[in-house]
């Protein structure tokens, strides 16, 4: 399950590797592009999502910085991730890189949140942070395991 999939950059890579991917995005135009790639797309605001099914992996790449209520996000992700499954987040790196990211978006009229991994800990009941990877100069990849 990819939350905030857009036109399917990551979903397509996973699909090419043989994964069955379901993408969720708010934009119907983005989902049309996703579906052209043969990937299931569901239109929904992530914080309102209620699919009634679970996935072994939930991915959110470039989404969390646009969400103010991280507690609600982690709860939605938990509801859609099977016990023992994983949540993988790609988020802007805090520090100078995050500041540059925030300024660039601000110049384009968009507000973003740049958070350190420890900033999520109060929001992550039922999750265990397994790994933090520096994914290039601007991003962190965080891998959480669903415990309960």
In this predicted structure, the answer to whether residue 125 has a pLDDT above a threshold of 90 is no
- Going by pLDDT thresholds of 50, 70 and 90, the confidence category of residue 118 is confident
Res 44: pLDDT: 97
Res 10: pLDDT: 96
Residue 106 CB-density burial (10 A; 0-12 exposed, 13-18 middle, 19+ buried): exposed
In this predicted structure, the answer to whether residue 136 has a pLDDT above a threshold of 90 is no
Cβ(70)–Cβ(115) under 8 Å? Answer: yes
Distance set, CA 47 to CA 16, 50, 84, 132, 145 (Å): 28, 9, 22, 24, 20
Report the C-alpha gap between 26 and 3 in whole angstroms. 10
In this predicted structure, the answer to whether residue 123 has a pLDDT above a threshold of 70 is no
Question: pTM score, two decimals?
Answer: 0.91
Cα 82 off chain centre by: 16
């Amino acid at each position: 399950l990819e939350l905030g999939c857009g036109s399917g950059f990551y979903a397509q890579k996973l699909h090419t590797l043989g994964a069955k991917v379901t993408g969720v995005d708010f934009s119907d135009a983005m989902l049309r592009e996703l579906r052209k790639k043969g990937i299931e797309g569901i239109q929904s605001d992530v914080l309102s999502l209620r699919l009634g099914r679970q996935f072994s992996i939930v991915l959110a790449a470039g989404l969390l910085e646009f969400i103010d209520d991280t507690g609600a996000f982690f709860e939605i992700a938990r509801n859609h991730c099977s016990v023992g499954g994983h949540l993988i987040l790609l988020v802007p790196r805090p520090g100078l890189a995050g500041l540059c990211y925030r300024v660039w978006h601000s110049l384009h009229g968009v507000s973003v949140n740049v958070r350190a991994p420890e900033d999520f800990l109060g929001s992550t009941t039922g999750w265990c942070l397994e790994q933090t990877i520096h994914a290039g100069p601007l991003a962190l990849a965080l891998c959480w395991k669903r415990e309960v």
